[in-house]
């Protein structure tokens, strides 16, 4: 079978590339080893019938604000895509059982901050105002290939309109640690902890350089634009994309593993499937799989590629993640107040010292005494995900070791995730119970995915790293995944990469797939 492009992996970036190429007249096939498309964006009845859980990704705000969605909005909506907005976006709970949250009503947000620090309330308003004028340039940079004329033009335009001082301040933001950035803008530790928790969604402890940008963007974007989740589940974007791909003539081959990338005169010419079939690619082979899987398994060794392969071998994973999915009789009874039942996310990461300690323990191979928890409450926004009066809870446990050397608390003796995941899940529930007493009595069913379970579910999540590679500065921007190859090309002619391992990294923004397709057509 012959196509213009063959895409390996039906994650949302691979699908975005396929949809865009098909839109421009290319014949496209997407081969996916799993029986269902979506990669890390899947929704499943993981606990009990009628309870729909987002297995990994839940927040679709990046997708809703993406260039890909903007380019295909009407057709995606026509194919069933739906969003549910969150008025109350995220909050953090603290050790004194108070909370601080961000709602789309700035007056409500500022009132909570002002109760802690009038000065911080003024600083928050100032930051939101600055964000309004800065956002087009920052998001424009994140939405441009790296490096590219478009990125350079954007920087030049920003310099002309906002001056050299703004460029210096933006460079400082890109390089700063969360702690340094937040300490320079605010005084109250609760506000700083609330924002810094976003750093752990990537792999940025408070002291890690380059980690300030994500807490800044998430806090300001949620305040300015709100948050959205998928109507009925995060898979709404996958269902709409696959339907649109088929409408545009593309082929989606599920349960179809790629065994080998075929080469002809040193150029990627197609793929050989596990069942022996060959899909020929006249113009491009695109991988939406982790580059270590491509260059470690699907391509043979080549001495001419030795330098690239050696650099890629050093591409580090971020810390591991555990997902705990709960079917509940009701929403958690938060000690900090009934208002928390209305928030999409509740972070249990009460101070930056705790975040730093958990991160250090995890990267040292130890089970953290007190991991950071991201508690998603999708049915607070979208009751359709559970039977009437019932709820689902999405608990992301950050950050964890992929390989266990010990337990920082000295209680769990096992050294394999298969042996200790239930015990560690009980530690998580103990923490949750502190802030939402009686949570165990509300549980109707549960499903636990350890870091190794996540890798088994999706081989791209190596060691349970749901980021497909650390986002530290030496693996971001021009260096993702390897210096000199940030524009999606590889040393193999005709073979391209997209996905979370490539610029602009993890998240549901479909950026790499969309930008790659735009560069190819």
**Phi and psi (nearest 5°) for 235?**
-70, 0
Residue 507 belongs to a domain = yes
What is the model's pLDDT at position 49? 98
In a shared domain, residues 131 and 206? yes
Other beta carbons less than 10 A from residue 473's beta carbon: 14
Q: Give the bridge partners for 366, in sequence order.
A: 406
Helix, strand, coil percentages for the chain (3-state, nearest 5): 45, 20, 35
Residue 259 belongs to a domain = yes
CA dihedral over 155, 159, 161, 162, signed as positive or negative: positive
Residue 489 belongs to a domain = yes
Pairing of strands 406-407, 366-367: parallel
In a shared domain, residues 205 and 135? yes
Residue 175 belongs to a domain = yes
In a shared domain, residues 135 and 195? yes
Chain-centre distance for alpha carbon 317:
14
In a shared domain, residues 129 and 216? yes
Residues 247, 264: Cα–Cα separation, whole Å: 31
In a shared domain, residues 164 and 240? no
CATH number of the domain residue 280 falls in = 3.50.50.60
In a shared domain, residues 213 and 240? no
Residue 23 belongs to a domain = yes
Q: Using alpha carbons, list the distances in angstroms from residue 379 to 21, 43, 248.
A: 36, 13, 34
Which residue, 185, 220, 255, sits at the end of a domain? Answer: 220
In a shared domain, residues 186 and 268? no
Residue 475 belongs to a domain = yes
For the chain, what is the domain count?
Answer: 2
In a shared domain, residues 214 and 299? no
What is the dihedral angle through the alpha carbons of 511, 514, 515, 518, rounded to the nearest 10 degrees?
Answer: -170
- What is the maximum span of the chain, computed from C-alpha positions, in angstroms? 68
Q: Give the bridge partners for 248, in sequence order.
A: none
- Identify the helix (H) or strand (E) that includes residue 141: helix 118-142
* 3 state SS of 303: helix
What is the pTM (predicted TM-score) of this model?
A: 0.97
CB 375 within 8 A of CB 393: yes
Q: Domain limits at 264?
A: 2-39+233-315+467-520
What is the model's pLDDT at position 311? 95
Nearest in space to 443 (alpha carbons), one of 359, 362, 327: 327
In a shared domain, residues 190 and 269? no
Each residue's pLDDT, cut to its tens digit, for the chain (521 residues) gives 999 999 999 999 999 999 999 999 999 999 999 999 999 999 999 999 999 999 999 999 999 999 999 999 999 999 999 999 999 999 999 999 999 999 999 999 999 999 999 999 999 999 999 999 999 999 999 999 999 999 999 999 999 999 999 999 999 999 999 999 999 999 999 999 999 999 999 999 999 999 999 999 999 999 999 999 999 999 999 999 999 999 999 999 999 999 999 999 999 999 999 999 999 999 999 999 999 999 989 998 889 999 999 999 999 999 999 999 999 999 999 999 999 999 999 999 999 999 999 999 999 999 999 999 999 999 999 999 999 999 999 999 999 999 999 999 999 999 999 999 999 999 999 999 999 999 999 999 999 999 999 999 999 999 999 999 999 999 999 999 999 999 999 999 999 999 999 999 999 999 999 999 999 99
In a shared domain, residues 216 and 132? yes
Burial zone of 500 (CB within 10 Å; 0-12 exposed, 13-18 middle, 19+ buried): buried
Residues 286, 270: Cα–Cα separation, whole Å: 10
Which residue, 173, 196, 220, sits at the end of a domain? Answer: 220
What is the model's pLDDT at position 508? 97
Tokens standing for 414? 């096992």
Tokens standing for 201? 């969604």
Tokens standing for 109? 């947000």
Which residue, 220, 246, 276, sits at the end of a domain? Answer: 220
Q: What angle do CA 239, 240, 246 make, to 5 degrees?
A: 90
What is the model's pLDDT at position 300? 82
Residue 429 belongs to a domain = no
Residue 511 belongs to a domain = yes
In a shared domain, residues 215 and 128? yes
């Amino acid at each position: 079978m012959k196509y213009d492009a063959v895409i390996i992996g039906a994650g949302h970036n691979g699908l975005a590339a396929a949809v865009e190429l098909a839109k421009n007249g290319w014949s496209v096939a997407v081969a996916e080893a799993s029986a269902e498309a979506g990669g890390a964006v899947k929704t499943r009845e993981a606990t009990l019938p009628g309870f729909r859980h987002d297995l990994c990704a839940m927040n679709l705000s990046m997708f809703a604000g993406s260039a890909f969605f903007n380019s295909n909005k009407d057709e995606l909506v026509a194919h069933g895509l739906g969003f549910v907005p969150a008025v109350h976006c995220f909050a953090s709970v603290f050790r004194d059982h108070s909370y601080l949250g961000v709602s789309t009503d700035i007056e409500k947000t500022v009132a909570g901050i002002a109760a802690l620090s009038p000065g911080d309330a003024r600083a928050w308003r100032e930051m939101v105002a600055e964000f309004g004028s800065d956002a087009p340039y920052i998001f424009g940079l994140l939405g441009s290939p790296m490096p590219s004329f478009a990125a350079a033009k954007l920087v030049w335009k920003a310099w002309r309109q906002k001056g050299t001082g703004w460029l210096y301040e933006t460079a400082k933001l890109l390089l700063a640690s969360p702690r340094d950035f937040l300490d320079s803008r605010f005084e109250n530790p609760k506000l700083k902890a609330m924002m810094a928790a976003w750093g752990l969604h990537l792999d940025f402890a408070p002291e890690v350089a380059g980690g300030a940008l994500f807490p800044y963007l998430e806090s300001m974007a949620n305040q300015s634009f709100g948050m959205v989740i998928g109507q009925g589940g995060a898979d709404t974007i996958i269902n709409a994309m696959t339907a649109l791909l088929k409408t545009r003539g593309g082929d989606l081959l599920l349960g179809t593993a790629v065994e080998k990338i075929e080469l002809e005169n040193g150029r990627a010419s197609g793929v050989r499937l596990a069942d022996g079939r060959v899909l020929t690619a006249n113009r491009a082979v695109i991988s939406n799989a982790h580059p270590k899987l491509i260059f470690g398994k699907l391509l043979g060794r080549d001495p001419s590629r030795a330098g690239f392969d050696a650099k890629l071998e050093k591409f580090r994973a971020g810390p591991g993640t555990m997902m705990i999915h709960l079917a509940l009789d009701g929403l958690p009874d938060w000690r900090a107040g009934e208002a928390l039942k209305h928030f999409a996310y509740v972070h249990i990461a009460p101070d930056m010292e705790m975040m730093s300690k958990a991160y250090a323990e995890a990267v040292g191979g130890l089970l953290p005494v007190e991991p950071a928890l991201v508690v998603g409450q999708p049915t607070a926004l979208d009751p359709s995900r559970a039977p009437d009066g019932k709820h689902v809870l999405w608990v992301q446990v950050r950050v964890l070791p992929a390989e266990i050397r010990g337990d920082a608390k000295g209680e769990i003796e096992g050294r394999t995730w298969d042996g200790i995941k239930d015990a560690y899940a009980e530690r998580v529930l103990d923490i949750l119970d502190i802030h939402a007493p009686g949570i165990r009595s509300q549980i109707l069913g549960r499903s636990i995915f350890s870091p190794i379970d996540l890798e088994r579910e999706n081989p791209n999540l190596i060691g349970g790293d749901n980021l497909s590679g650390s986002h530290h500065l030496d693996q971001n921007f021009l260096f993702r995944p390897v210096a000199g190859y940030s524009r999606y090309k590889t040393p193999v002619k005709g073979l391209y990469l997209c996905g979370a391992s490539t610029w602009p990294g993890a998240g549901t923004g479909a950026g790499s797939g969309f930008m790659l397709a735009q560069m190819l057509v």
